[in-house]
Structure 1
Amino acid sequence: MKRSSKTWGEIRDPVHGYVLINELERDVLDTYPLQRLHRIRQLGNAYLTYPGADHSRFGHSLGTLHLASIASNKLLDLGFSADDVQELRLAALLHDVGHGPFSHLFEEAVLRHKTLSHEDLTAKIIRDTEIKDKIEDFGYNPDSVSLLSVGKLKSPLSMLISGPFDIDKLDFLLRDSYYTGVEYGKVDALRLLMSLRLVEGSLALELPASLYALESLLISRYEMFKAVYFHRTVRAAWVMLRVAVETAYLCEGLFDFSSIEEYLAIDDGYVESCMRSLSKKREGLSKEMRIACDLYSMLEKRHLFKSVCEIVLHTTETSLKVDEELKEEIEETIARKANVDQWMVVVDTPMIPSLPYTPTQPDPMDIPVCEEREGGLVKRKLVEFSKLVESLRGYVDIVRVYSHPSVRRSVAEVSERVIKSFLFQDNP
């Protein structure tokens, strides 16, 4: 039997104002896994480019809870139960609890070698830590909450956690825009959430009422990827730290874990402390690890690699596929032709669906929308309402070559030719 969860109080948030929480959410907030998110930066080391961008995953989790709260009244009107809404609020609060240090960077540097994702760890943390007990104390099902928190519960509500206009995206656009000082992330979250409708068993946005807000969301995310997430200097610091952390993991076994408890002990500060200690020690380290220490020492002084070549490709078809093996081959070829050490060259290939929604839903025409007709709500295609969105469909592939500042000229001279020979011709 579910216990009643009264409103406990409010938490002041710079983005949304007061975030109201109830007793259950307070209990979940006051657990180690949630409090750890204070020590996980939302944007990794992007603060080296945008000094204000040192906000945490904890604030983002609170903001996502707030947006779930805004959606609650609309969902109740649509026939969802109070228990459904509470599970959504919990899922919103917990959706990032599995993130590692520096957020997505740790996923590429360490977790991929263990065939894990932060979503896998999120679900496991909800099911196997004190969070499970807090949820059960109020009569809710941790398994349902864990599935919903990663968008895998067989429920229309999953779309609000992981979908084309989910509350995760809405908060991180608003929050990252606020802390970086970049204006492109402003979206009308209230209009979008108030336009939710239930059509044929799934959630959709009613048009034309929410059209301008939807167009703004799609364009804002695209612009934020270009201006912040894939900014050339942001990515320079990102690739340097990724190489350093990945090398420490592969060569020294640092940051490895065999249990959830060990994983939860790893945060930004732990990684920084380990890398700093290694950089001072150096004796007995392999050549690869000494290079990683040099990269980390450069980062601490903000001596960043320089972007010496950038190729931007717009396509309406599939995006470029550049795996780690191919990247390494390209880096080796550039280094050889430039007559420099290979570690001084890094190839970065971030890919942006022009209007990114989810990894499996890159087509903006697939966003569920509906319209009120005489017979009720009818599903429609977004293209019938927005030529603007149609014109932005497709992918933006960015291929960048970064080099150590001391060899930037020689690397720049050969990079574009090598990149084009590997990626844009049939035979490299």
Structure 2
Amino acid sequence: MAKKYVQIVDPIHDFITVYSHELGLVDSPIFQRLRRIRQLAGAHLVYPGAQHSRFEHSLGTMHVAGQAASILKEKGYLSSDDYENIRMAALLHDIGHGPFSHLFEEVLQKNKTISHEEIGKKIILESEIGDIINKSGFDKKFLSNLAFGNSKYQFMNEIISGGLSADMMDYLLRDGYFTGAEHAKIDFMRIIHSLDVHEKKLSLAKSALYSFESMMISRYQMFKAVYFHKTVRSAEVMLIQSMLLADKELELATDDIKKYVQMTDEFVISKLVSLEPKDADLKRARQLAIEYQERKLLKCVYEKIFTRPRMNQVNTDELQNRIAKKAQVNKCEVFIDISKTPSIPLSPSKTESKSIILATKKGEGPKESYELPISEIPLVSAISGFMDMLRVYTRQQFRKKVEIAANVILGENI
């Protein structure tokens, strides 16, 4: 008799169970490709332990989503089929990521106006992934919608993405563990056991509000300390610029699935460092990739953090030109980086989350639910809105001149 599951040892969740109908997906070449895409792109150049990949994060997200679904199944909100669908959708939620994870998104959106979610849908619907799903008796179209927050069951979408999502619970714990950052300690089991459903939306027991608050603060701190760390972003700015300069030559921003799934971190970096310098752009792309590989990183000479959206007011090309002119350096030696994130995770529909639904129960009386605005959760309210970071980078030899120019120009305007 064939074994119905395997167990994978995991440093975050101890053991992750993968059932036979999920194993076909995990063992497929397209999913195995996620082993070769780092979860945190260039963060390993600052935090050497951050070598973990989208592969183990996807397994972890499936595991946490399964735990959440199991709790809601016990409470009567989900069937066994729903439980299996949620696990599989969570497993596939990152299947469309390109090399260097979210970093590649900036290349895609600059040149193709397409997201990794849209590519993920294509992979599920048009590749062997969809064939495996169908052969297992599942609906690939439904799973595609659920994996990317578009199913008609809002609370099921919210298990996978959003402010109470399995995705965030796994990546905070996993990224904190592998970077060594102490900011990502969250009591995710308390949150999971406190989940409920109110009017087709995910809700949380009021008694677990402090755990939710702590998780939001942890996420905010991880963005400041890890994801938007100035040296991490220095490495990533170099990679983005290199890929943009070489995109036409290498056809990186493709929505051709066969070409797309060939691309991994090492595949792309090897292409970049091997570029034939036929023109100035390709020469510069190659130089940036080599310097990234050798950790000869750009220096940050100006930094400002905003907690309310301000960056839409900034014309980066104009700013680059002005700073370069003031510093008397070539404009290609000035790098403007604008990093943005909502302080509270977006909902599955990609809108700003402005409230959380809390459930209360007194004695033997009926359960009551109400919507609590984020503005009424003091610590979370303090960080709500958007965290925007504006930074100016340059090479070591131009550091002083560009620093002076950036401070003069940005001191006048920001």
Task: Tell me the TM-score normalized by structure 1.
Answer: 0.91
Aligned ranges 1:181-260 → 2 under 5 Å:
181-207=180-206, 209-250=207-248, 252-257=249-254, 259-260=256-257
CA distance in 2, matches of 1:320, 1:244: 23
What is the alpha-carbon distance in structure 2 between the residues aligned to residue 336 and residue 388 of structure 1?
A: 43
C-alpha offsets along residues 387-414 of structure 1, whole Å, 9 cap, x if unaligned?
Answer: 2222332333211100111100000001
Q: Which residue of 2 aligns with 1:119?
A: 117
- Do the aligned partners of 1:110 and 1:246 also contact (CA within 8 Å) in 2? no
CA distance in 1, matches of 2:45, 2:173: 20
Equivalent residue for 1:392? 383
Q: In the alignment, residue 297 of structure 1 is paired with which amino acid? A: I
Aligned residue in 2 for 1:49: 46
2:96 aligned partner: 98
The 1:187/1:309 distance shift into structure 2, 3 A limit, reads: same
C-alpha contact (below 8 Å) 1:371/1:377 kept by paired residues:
yes
Q: Is the 8 A contact 2:34 2:53 kept in 1?
A: yes
Distance of 1:356 and 1:8 partners within structure 2: 33
- Aligned 8 A contact 1:7 1:20 in 2: no
Partner SS state of residue 15, structure 1: coil
- The residue that corresponds to 1:338 in the other structure is 327
Contact 1:222–1:356 (CA under 8 A) maintained in structure 2? no
Change (3 A) 1:321 1:55: same
Q: 1:290 aligns with which of 271, 274, 283?
A: 283
Distance 1:342 1:395, change over 3 A: same
- Show CA shifts across 1:154-187 (max 9, x none): 1120011121111101111011001101011111
CA 1:408–1:104: 2 relative to 1, 3 Å:
same
Measured after TM superposition, the shift of residue 385 of structure 1 is 6.9
Task: Measure, in 1, the Cα distance between the counterparts of 2:377 and 2:322.
Answer: 45
Partner SS state of residue 213, structure 2: helix
Distance 2:99 2:369 in 1: 44
Which residue of structure 1 aligns with residue 302 of structure 2?
309
**1:219–1:355 Cα contact (<8 Å) kept:** no
After TM superposition, the structure 1 stretch with the greater mean CA deviation from structure 2, 184-193 or 377-386, is 377-386
Once structures 1 and 2 are overlaid, which stretch shifts more, 98-107 or 305-314? 305-314
| Coordinate RMSD, CA, aligned | 1.9
> Which structure 1 segments of 5+ residues have no match?
none
Query: Which ranges of structure 2 fall in alignment gaps of 5 or more residues?
Result: none
Deviation track 1:41-93 (CA, whole Å, cap 9, x = no partner) reads 11112111111111110010010011012113212123211111111000110
1:198 Cα deviation after fit: 1.2
SS in 2 for 1:368: strand
CA distance in structure 2 between the partners assigned to 1:350 and 1:256 by the alignment: 21
- Name whichever of 189-198 and 132-141 sits farther off: 132-141
* 2:406 alignment partner in structure 1: 415
Letter matched to residue 388 of structure 2: D
Report SS of the residue matched to 1:210.
helix
3-state SS in 2 of match to 1:140:
coil
**Partners in 2 of 1:147 and 1:21 — Cα distance?**
22
1:132 shift after superposition: 1.3
In structure 2, do the counterparts of structure 1 residues 144 and 176 end up closer, same or farther at CA, with 3 Å as the change threshold?
Answer: same
Residue-by-residue CA offset, 1:197-255 (whole Å, 9 max, x unaligned): 11122211110x211210111000000000000000000000011000111003x2432
SS in structure 2 opposite 1:272?
A: helix
8 Å contact from structure 2 (residues 107, 240) kept in 1: yes
Q: Distance in 2 between matches of 1:212 and 1:107?
A: 33
How far residue 106 of structure 1 moved from its aligned partner, in angstroms, is: 1.2
Shift in Å at residue 383 of structure 1?
Answer: 5.5
Return the match for 1:320 from 311, 314, 325: 311
Instruction: Quote the Cα distance in structure 1 between the aligned partners of 2:72 and 2:32.
Output: 29
The answer to whether the Cα contact below 8 Å between 1:205 and 1:368 also exists between their aligned partners in 2 is yes
Please name the residue that 1:10 is paired with: 7
- Quick one: distance in 1 between partners of 2:302 and 2:375? 40
User: Take 1:383 and 1:125, find their aligned partners in 2: how far apart are those partners?
Assistant: 36
1 CA distance for matches of 2:15 and 2:310? Answer: 41
Distance between the aligned counterparts of 1:240 and 1:71, measured in 2? 39
Residue type of the alignment partner of 2:182: E
1:88 matched to 2:79: no
What residue is the counterpart of 1:40 in the other structure? 37
Q: Percent identity?
A: 38
Note the alpha carbon deviations across 1:258-299, whole angstroms, 9 max, x for none.
Answer: 521111111112101101211xx43xx111221121111211
| Residue in 1 that maps onto 2:161 | 162
**Residue equivalent to 2:146:** 148
What is the rounded CA distance, in whole Å, between the counterparts of 2:386 and 2:257 in structure 1?
36
